[in-house]
Chains A and B, each alone.
Chain A
């Protein structure tokens, strides 16, 4: 067994889990969400083993390094962090259905890693600048941050698609004989205040870790190049992302913004996350790291 087989299987397991969550929502079968959760945990275990195996294999080849150094590895790790965070949230808040928008993200990230022709899954040696423990701390914290924002994004989408007037009636509506198929579908979603609260929790989690991620990146840059901040496009975009979420936090804490408006800011923030992650490579630059 090598890591790439395990990770391929994991991709399918995650796909299956997403299908179950979505199915549970559309067909209103609680049992599907329950099964989905176990499948998701299975996938998560596979994901973990895959990462560890890749780590071990890199040592066997003689390039030994932690598997957080290129696009493929970071996407696999991104799936892992989103899955971990989501599993934690489901256990803690006992809301099953909230996986509808979070689990597909887990699947999409790892599927993109395996299927995109521009992403190589070869284990490559580390160039000298990447040989630092700060790199490991930096990648792990950044991705925990991204995971928080991704899950917050999932909740924000749920918030926005749920019609407000259904909120008070909440989940009891479907028992009234499902007057309206679509409405009852959305009514299955958790109450708005729960999703609002969860979005906020996830944003705070993401913000803390993005902050630590930017900081460890700065400390690393200072130990490798003697400059903790050089306005590199990637750095700048992570700062822009940080600003957006800082704005969100202030709007909520000081101006009392809630619900829809916060959901929109959270979506804008996640677009910035995606751009920091994928888009920066498209930008022109005179210099770039690594």
Chain B
């Protein structure tokens, strides 16, 4: 059966190709060499970037070879597939033999094998065989785990004046021969994990303003919406800076709400994501969404008095001195004034009280100026509704005197406000990551076994001397690190001499 098997295998071209270590080396060299390309040519850039950098001809050539996304290119994946088949075929091919060594029907020691070794340690003992063999046996057992005592047969020249000479064999680490298979298995596990992640995983993004709740994110690749299956609320976001101006910490406080009930609340920072139901939420960016706790300073032109007023969005207040009514409408990120962007600020609606003597100057820059447009991002709205003399005014944060230029009876400026942030979250689902992580562990353990452990066996031959005492020869082998084994045999022999 096995013989048949082997015959089939050895005639099989496929099998022979893939069990060859030469193929492994060639594929590894190709992987290393082609990986270099991807570090020299930036990956996943825009067409425009590449055409500009390499020209039309090279752009066409490179794209036809998928060089711009080469780690996902068919030929790179093919190399990985060849590598995997190589590992599998090779391991099956070798494992049959290795398995028999690891789990032999009967552990047999062959004294001739040890006698042929070049390095042996020899010493003498004044004691008789019967007196020392027990001590040596337990010593070897202590050091190797397995020790057996055998009389040396006459065939092996074991009989000396009627007393049988004795050999003590010890061994350990048979199982360490499995180490390379663990390493190779770990590589397969990682590749399987990567495939699983590629097929069933995704990466998505969402930004949530403080206080708001979402249940959907958008895939990074194509913006397709994906539902979480629960709601996620951002309670707050904060950013801290060092005195050097470098960011120190980005932190979002998130709550998962499932079926209307809060299920968990957690602070996430850059290295500490929220994990829930197979999804991981990573702190990835942030920005200013709006403002809160806005404190206005309102100056009356007539009386010179100033008033402080704290406001919420949508709130309407009566201006002191019966000046009219003011409504805070919204926060804007930019505002275009005569071709200049005045930056972040607030939009409010001010209906001035007509009964108060209203002397708006005719050439009021703000009211008549065509170029006064809000940032493109904002809806186009008439700036002024002349019928009821309601004006929409813009109050910038950076330029406190700006509203004074409007020349109205009251000037508004921002005294203080708190930023309202949105947090940008990356959402990842990767069901393959556990295969990869188990692969990582196997890889480390397997390498350790392969590099630093070996299958060692030792033989202590005790022969009676013609007169008194006996002659002792210690020798040993290992399947790896023969230099280390030599030292070990010397050490063992030295210790045995002391017993």
Q: Which of A80-88, A162-170, A180-188, A235-243 forms contacts with chain B?
A: A235-243
Task: Report whether B428 and A226 are in contact in the complex, using a CB–CB cutoff of 8 Å.
Answer: yes
Contacts of B45 in A (CB 8 A): 286
Task: Report whether B21 and A211 are in contact in the complex, using a CB–CB cutoff of 8 Å.
Answer: no
Task: Report whether B271 and A247 are in contact in the complex, using a CB–CB cutoff of 8 Å.
Answer: no
A228 within 8 Å of B (CB atoms): yes
B476 within 8 Å of A (CB atoms): no
Q: Which residues of A from 169 to 223 have beta carbons under 8 Å from B?
A: 197, 204-205, 207-208, 211-212, 215, 218-220, 222-223
B38 within 8 Å of A (CB atoms): yes
Q: Nearest A residue to B437 by beta-carbon distance?
A: A219
Least Cβ–Cβ distance between A214 and chain B, in angstroms: 9
Task: Report whether A233 and B31 are in contact in the complex, using a CB–CB cutoff of 8 Å.
Answer: no
Task: Report whether A222 and B433 are in contact in the complex, using a CB–CB cutoff of 8 Å.
Answer: yes
Please pick, from A127, A208, A226, A283, the residue contacting B447 in the complex, using a CB distance under 8 A. Answer: A208
Q: Nearest B residue to A125 by beta-carbon distance?
A: B242
In angstroms, Cα B40 to Cα A198, docked, is: 35
Task: Report whether B428 and A215 are in contact in the complex, using a CB–CB cutoff of 8 Å.
Answer: no
A131 within 8 Å of B (CB atoms): yes
Task: Report whether A254 and B28 are in contact in the complex, using a CB–CB cutoff of 8 Å.
Answer: no
Contacts of A207 in B (CB 8 A): 447, 451
Task: Report whether A280 and B269 are in contact in the complex, using a CB–CB cutoff of 8 Å.
Answer: no
Task: Report whether A128 and B270 are in contact in the complex, using a CB–CB cutoff of 8 Å.
Answer: yes
Given the contacts A211-B447, A243-B32, A250-B25, A219 and B271 also touching, CB distance less than 8 Å: no
Task: Report whether B29 and A247 are in contact in the complex, using a CB–CB cutoff of 8 Å.
Answer: yes
Contacts of B38 in A (CB 8 A): 231, 236
Given the contacts A63-B242, A128-B247, A233-B39, A223 and B272 also touching, CB distance less than 8 Å: yes
In angstroms, Cα B428 to Cα A226, docked, is: 6
Contacts of A239 in B (CB 8 A): 35
In angstroms, Cα B17 to Cα A32, docked, is: 55
Least Cβ–Cβ distance between A195 and chain B, in angstroms: 12
Q: Which residues of A from 240 to 287 have beta carbons under 8 Å from B?
A: 240, 243-244, 246-247, 250-251, 254-255, 280, 283-286
B11 within 8 Å of A (CB atoms): no
A227 within 8 Å of B (CB atoms): yes
Q: Which residues of B from 313 to 356 have beta carbons under 8 Å from A?
A: none
In angstroms, Cα B21 to Cα A95, docked, is: 35
* Cβ proximity bits B286-309 to A, threshold 8 Å, 1 near / 0 not: 000000000000000000000000
Q: Nearest A residue to B21 by beta-carbon distance?
A: A254
Q: Nearest B residue to A204 by beta-carbon distance?
A: B451
Q: Nearest B residue to A212 by beta-carbon distance?
A: B444
Task: Report whether B32 and A125 are in contact in the complex, using a CB–CB cutoff of 8 Å.
Answer: no
Task: Report whether B444 and A246 are in contact in the complex, using a CB–CB cutoff of 8 Å.
Answer: no
Task: Report whether B244 and A125 are in contact in the complex, using a CB–CB cutoff of 8 Å.
Answer: yes
In angstroms, Cα B477 to Cα A55, docked, is: 47
Please pick, from B40, B44, B242, the residue contacting A283 in the complex, using a CB distance under 8 A. Answer: B40
Contacts of B25 in A (CB 8 A): 247, 250-251, 255
We find that the number of chain A residues with CB closer than 8 angstroms to chain B is 47
Least Cβ–Cβ distance between B399 and chain A, in angstroms: 32
A132 within 8 Å of B (CB atoms): yes
In angstroms, Cα B80 to Cα A243, docked, is: 13
A225 within 8 Å of B (CB atoms): yes
Please pick, from A225, A229, A247, the residue contacting B282 in the complex, using a CB distance under 8 A. Answer: A225
Task: Report whether B270 and A250 are in contact in the complex, using a CB–CB cutoff of 8 Å.
Answer: no
In angstroms, Cα B273 to Cα A67, docked, is: 25
Q: Which residues of B from 254 to 278 have beta carbons under 8 Å from A?
A: 269-273
B236 within 8 Å of A (CB atoms): no
B175 within 8 Å of A (CB atoms): no
Please pick, from B44, B426, B433, the residue contacting A225 in the complex, using a CB distance under 8 A. Answer: B426
In angstroms, Cα B444 to Cα A218, docked, is: 14
Please pick, from B42, B271, B440, the residue contacting A218 in the complex, using a CB distance under 8 A. Answer: B440
Q: Nearest A residue to B244 by beta-carbon distance?
A: A125
Task: Report whether A243 and B28 are in contact in the complex, using a CB–CB cutoff of 8 Å.
Answer: yes
Given the contacts A211-B443, A243-B28, A286-B44, A226 and B426 also touching, CB distance less than 8 Å: yes
B24 within 8 Å of A (CB atoms): yes
In angstroms, Cα B452 to Cα A240, docked, is: 24
Task: Report whether B440 and A215 are in contact in the complex, using a CB–CB cutoff of 8 Å.
Answer: yes
Least Cβ–Cβ distance between B450 and chain A, in angstroms: 8
Q: Nearest B residue to A254 by beta-carbon distance?
A: B21
Contacts of B483 in A (CB 8 A): 197
Contacts of A251 in B (CB 8 A): 25
Task: Report whether B21 and A250 are in contact in the complex, using a CB–CB cutoff of 8 Å.
Answer: yes
Least Cβ–Cβ distance between B20 and chain A, in angstroms: 10
Please pick, from B28, B41, B42, B427, the residue contacting A247 in the complex, using a CB distance under 8 A. Answer: B28
Contacts of A211 in B (CB 8 A): 443-444, 447
Q: List 15 A-B contacts (CB under 8 A).
A: A124-B244, A124-B246, A125-B242, A127-B246, A127-B247, A132-B271, A204-B452, A207-B451, A218-B436, A224-B271, A226-B273, A226-B282, A237-B39, A239-B35, A250-B28
Hey, which bits of chain A sit against chain B, CB under 8 A? 63, 124-125, 127-129, 131-132, 134, 197, 204-205, 207-208, 211-212, 215, 218-220, 222-229, 231, 233, 236-237, 239-240, 243-244, 246-247, 250-251, 254-255, 280, 283-286
Hey, which bits of chain B sit against chain A, CB under 8 A? 21-22, 24-25, 28-29, 31-32, 35-36, 38-45, 71, 194, 203, 242, 244, 246-250, 269-273, 280, 282-284, 426-428, 430, 433, 436-437, 440, 443-444, 447-448, 451-452, 483
In the complex, given contacts A124-B246, A211-B443, what are 18 additional A-B residue pairs having Cβ atoms less than 8 angstroms apart?
A63-B242, A125-B244, A125-B248, A127-B247, A128-B249, A128-B250, A128-B283, A218-B440, A224-B271, A224-B282, A225-B284, A226-B280, A246-B28, A247-B25, A255-B21, A255-B22, A286-B44, A286-B45
Report the 4 A-B pairs with minimum CB-CB distance, sorted nearest first. A226-B428, A128-B270, A243-B32, A233-B39
